[in-house]
Structure 1
Amino acid sequence: MAMPSRRTVRDLRRSSRKEVLQRLYFDGPMSRQALGTTTSLSSGSISTIAAELVAEGLVEEAGTVDSDGGRPRTLLRVVPSGAYLIGVDVGETRVRVELFDLVMAELARWERPLRRNGYDVASVVRHISDGVGEVLSGAGITADLLLGVGVGIPGIVDRGADGEGGAVVHGQTIGWDAVPLESLLRECAVLPPGTRFFIENGARTLGQAEMWFGGGRGVRDAAIVLFGSGIGACIVSDGAVFGGAGGSAAEWGHTTLHVRGRRCRCGALGCLEAYAGAEALVQRWQEAGASLPADTDEETAVSALLAAAHPPAGEADPVARAVLDETAEYLGAGISDLINLYGPERVLLCGWAGLQLAPYILDSVRTHAAAYALRHPAGRVSIELGRLGPDAVTVGAATLPLADFFARGGRLNEQPGEGDAPAGQAGWRATMETRKRTITAQEPATK
């Protein structure tokens, strides 16, 4: 028996506002008439919603465009200063905090390096809190205009069955066991008590950024690979993150590549990350005879390996070249598993190490991935470099409160309704549906 809809007039109103706001955000400037065509809302609803958004300072008029024989039509666009977002990347080598306006223009940034084995919980929490305070004060932004703080973190993020108590992080590779990160940030951060925090695995925030604004635009099925000190992935299937809460394929780096193989930093034997992560890459080079100063950081060490394998002049170091070639094969083999399991249209190589190594290994990675994968799924996939650079995780983290803002219909202080999607996977999927319709009708979409 069909269940009656329990959506209220308020829910429907919120949904209509969300649709208008998302259209203007991703495709604006647009006229009221164009909004009516693309959203299927009545002209009266469009006029009322547009007037509300203008009065709230979220939308403004942006000139006119000629119509076919009629009066010029007024264009509307999202106001960049209507609200603000913060994205945090708790990476393997540093904590980076960035402040964005509503259209994702960077306004301020703050970062601090993490020493080796520097994942002391108190230090990371303090870095995030200090960074949030610094970017807000540096840009002169008050916390009342902040939509929220998104945080990308290594490990599995668990919110519990009821969502009470906030996000808890299980980061085996960084020594975190059920760390109540959200509650710790609420106690420490220089923000009002009601500030929204959105904590997610860093590979998934990176994937969200690439799907919204980068190399994933226009596809429904993708694998976004985060290649840093370790290895992770974000799988997007039919426009949504594959799997439920808890990390899903983000922990792809801890699938077994070699039974009884190298010891991974997670403690297991033979993980992909033990062969293909930047940390493992440097370790294997040193085991083969390379000598590096004891205090050399990972990024410097990778640069030194590349300089040895591909010197601007003179002969290449055959050992460094062999280690690099092996890494390309390991990574290609790992990507072949993603291709066989999920059948993506596109694989994006991202992360600081991926960006640094790609000019030297990307063609080889493609060759090995095709060789190890089944022919049919391999024949329909392209393997490309991510487009958002080293800031992709912070951009993706900032889109978490943005997705929540859309789900609330652009209301700064209103909870999502029953028919609307909250932040996280459901909120992302709802926004991706809008992106899909836009891209289908008009490619490339412009923001």
Structure 2
Amino acid sequence: MAARNGRTVHDLRRENRTAVLQRLYFDGPMSRHSLAPATGLSSGSISNVVAELLADGLVEEAGSVGSDGGRPRTLLRVVPGSGHMIGVDVGETRVRVELFDLSLAELARTERPLAHKGRQAYDVGVIVGHIRDGVAEVLAAAGITAGELLGVGIGVPGIVERSGEGGAVVHGQTIGWDAVPLEHMLRLSGQLPEHVPYFIDNGAKTLGQAEMWFGAGRGAHNAVVVLFGSGVGACVVTDEVEHGRAVEWGHLTVRVQGRRCRCGALGCLEAYAGAEALLARWQEAGGQPPYDTDEETALTAMLAAAYPEDGRAPDPVAAAVLAETAEYLGAGLSDLINLFQPERILVGGWAGLQLGSRFLESVRTHALAYALRYPAGRVGIELGRLGPDAVTVGAAILPLADFFAHGGRRAPAPDAPVPSPAWRTSLDGRLA
């Protein structure tokens, strides 16, 4: 039966389940009495939905609370162990894999280092192997079977295209990936049952998802979340794009005929403000980055040289390069301010968090100086709150969000019997 606006009764029931689940998830524990005004549903609808969710094992009772002298009201909450998700961060220095329960408590994690620098580190066969082995390791560590998962979310560098047959295809120009059918390659491994989905998206978008749901973006209607690592990227969240849209901010041209970027173009922001470029510019200016080490260690050494805490004189070369980088980043942020007029800009990623405490104020000053006065006067610029693991958490949110969107119902296994409609059962009984 279809409702007047085209939605079926099934659609309405799913939407009601979604509303109750999400409210309990973000604001619970709550009573049935509190759920009604919080969701806009009638008390009868709340009773029906809660009964279903209790029967499905998704919701449980969690104590009681007084009710102005009346009978105590039972509190309800989402059961943390009623679902499990895996988040994967295909990062610059490692592939990180984490297993979470429904409350996003970490149950197991593993990391696979990327041993070589540059595009060699991103050999797609190696990356697929790291993801496959990492998923197997965290499942074994927690005693969870692959079929129990709500899904595996993966944050990757580059543009992600949705393909009808093969799933997600990644265009990662800076890492040498040209239309890589990553989802198809993962499916070929046969590790996950067909009913367990992969969710593959840009790493900046997964970072944005995490910060908007649980971090410094909570409560904002529109925001830009910046990922500052070896390269730079951004996720734009607006009322029209609720879950965010990744934008290739790092490849905005900031200097005509400037430095060669990893993407091959000249003058990109990433060629000046990414950690890889920052360390290269320090060396070109006469600095001495540590030899044969990863970028995170080298950036730590650069910060220590520019801002020594042991009484030594600051390294003027490192300090000058960092100051110039702050201006480039500020100018880049001013473009985001002018284009999208966000309430907040959040700076995350391992390099952004490492540098942020030292030069966020300088970045903020430059951003507001380069931006138009009206949008600049309305934006807050701050660090993300979820730490360097935020991409992994955001990747795990992708299957969680899909689970909520389906009213907390899992996709059926392909061999599971599909019940016949009630009318068919009745007619078949007459014909028997």
* TM-score normalised according to structure 1 size: 0.88
1:273 aligned to 250, 270, 276, which one?
Answer: 270
State the shift of 1:42 in Å: 2.4
Q: Is the 8 A contact 2:229 2:275 kept in 1?
A: yes
CA spacing shift, 1:243–1:349, aligned 2, 3 Å: closer
The yes-or-no answer on 1:310 pairing with 2:307 is: yes
Q: Could you tell me which residue of structure 1 aligns to residue 425 of structure 2?
A: none
Equivalent residue letter for 1:363? E
Q: Could you tell me which residue of structure 2 aligns to residue 198 of structure 1?
A: 199
Q: Which runs of 5+ in 1 are unaligned?
A: 416-447
Distance 1:243 1:408 in 2: 19
What is the 5 A alignment of 1:27-42? 27-42=27-42
State the shift of 1:221 in Å: 1.1
Distance 1:45 1:360 in 2: 52
Equivalent residue letter for 2:155? G
Equivalent residue letter for 2:209? Q
CA spacing shift, 1:66–1:37, aligned 2, 3 Å: same
| RMSD, aligned α-carbons | 1.6
Q: Could you tell me which residue of structure 2 aligns to residue 70 of structure 1?
A: 70
1:406 aligned to 404, 418, 423, which one?
Answer: 404
CA spacing shift, 1:414–1:403, aligned 2, 3 Å: farther
Distance 1:192 1:15 in 2: 27
Report Cα offsets for 1:186-212 as digits up to 9, x if no partner. 112522222110000000000010000
The yes-or-no answer on 1:343 pairing with 2:341 is: yes
Distance 2:113 2:401 in 1: 29
1:381 aligned to 379, 382, 390, which one?
Answer: 379
Distance 2:356 2:126 in 1: 32
Q: Could you tell me which residue of structure 2 aligns to residue 80 of structure 1?
A: 80
Equivalent residue letter for 1:17? R
Equivalent residue letter for 2:266? L
What percent identity do the matched residue pairs reach? 71
Equivalent residue letter for 1:365? V
State which drifts further: 78-87 or 191-200: 191-200
Q: Could you tell me which residue of structure 2 aligns to residue 17 of structure 1?
A: 17
Give secondary structure in 1 for the equivalent of 2:209: helix
Give secondary structure in 2 for the equivalent of 1:240: coil
Report Cα offsets for 1:220-257 as digits up to 9, x if no partner. 1111110000000011112635886xx4x2x1000100
Equivalent residue letter for 2:283? Q
Give secondary structure in 1 for the equivalent of 2:263: coil
CA spacing shift, 1:263–1:241, aligned 2, 3 Å: farther
What is the 5 A alignment of 1:314-333? 314-333=312-331
Q: Could you tell me which residue of structure 1 aligns to residue 367 of structure 2?
A: 369
State the shift of 1:47 in Å: 1.5
Q: Is the 8 A contact 1:98 1:106 kept in 2?
A: yes
State the shift of 1:90 in Å: 0.3
Q: Is the 8 A contact 1:253 1:272 kept in 2?
A: yes
1:252 aligned to 220, 242, 249, which one?
Answer: 249
Equivalent residue letter for 1:359? S
What is the 5 A alignment of 1:100-111? 100-111=100-111
Tell me the matched-pair count.
Answer: 407
Report Cα offsets for 1:331-389 as digits up to 9, x if no partner. 00100000011101111110000011011111100111111111111111111010000
Q: Is the 8 A contact 1:129 1:189 kept in 2?
A: no
Give secondary structure in 1 for the equivalent of 2:167: coil
1:128 aligned to 126, 131, 156, which one?
Answer: 131
CA spacing shift, 1:224–1:243, aligned 2, 3 Å: closer
State the shift of 1:49 in Å: 1.4
Equivalent residue letter for 1:50? V
Q: Could you tell me which residue of structure 1 aligns to residue 419 of structure 2?
A: none
Q: Is the 8 A contact 1:89 1:151 kept in 2?
A: yes
The yes-or-no answer on 1:301 pairing with 2:302 is: no
CA spacing shift, 1:290–1:175, aligned 2, 3 Å: same
Distance 2:191 2:157 in 1: 23
Report Cα offsets for 1:392-436 as digits up to 9, x if no partner. 001100110011001110011269xxxxxxxxxxxxxxxxxxxxx
Q: Could you tell me which residue of structure 2 aligns to residue 433 of structure 1?
A: none
State the shift of 1:292 in Å: 3.6
Equivalent residue letter for 1:298? E
State the shift of 1:9 in Å: 1.1
Higher relative contact order (CA 8 A, sep 6+): 1
Distance 2:99 2:24 in 1: 22
CA spacing shift, 1:241–1:49, aligned 2, 3 Å: closer
Q: Could you tell me which residue of structure 1 aligns to residue 223 of structure 2?
A: 222
Distance 2:235 2:412 in 1: 30
CA spacing shift, 1:314–1:239, aligned 2, 3 Å: farther
Q: Is the 8 A contact 1:234 1:241 kept in 2?
A: no
The yes-or-no answer on 1:188 pairing with 2:186 is: no
Equivalent residue letter for 1:284? R
Q: Which runs of 5+ in 2 are unaligned?
A: 414-432
Q: Is the 8 A contact 2:208 2:244 kept in 1?
A: no
Equivalent residue letter for 2:134? G
Give secondary structure in 2 for the equivalent of 1:389: coil
Distance 1:238 1:9 in 2: 27
Q: Is the 8 A contact 1:343 1:377 kept in 2?
A: yes
Give secondary structure in 2 for the equivalent of 1:305: helix
Q: Is the 8 A contact 1:132 1:189 kept in 2?
A: no
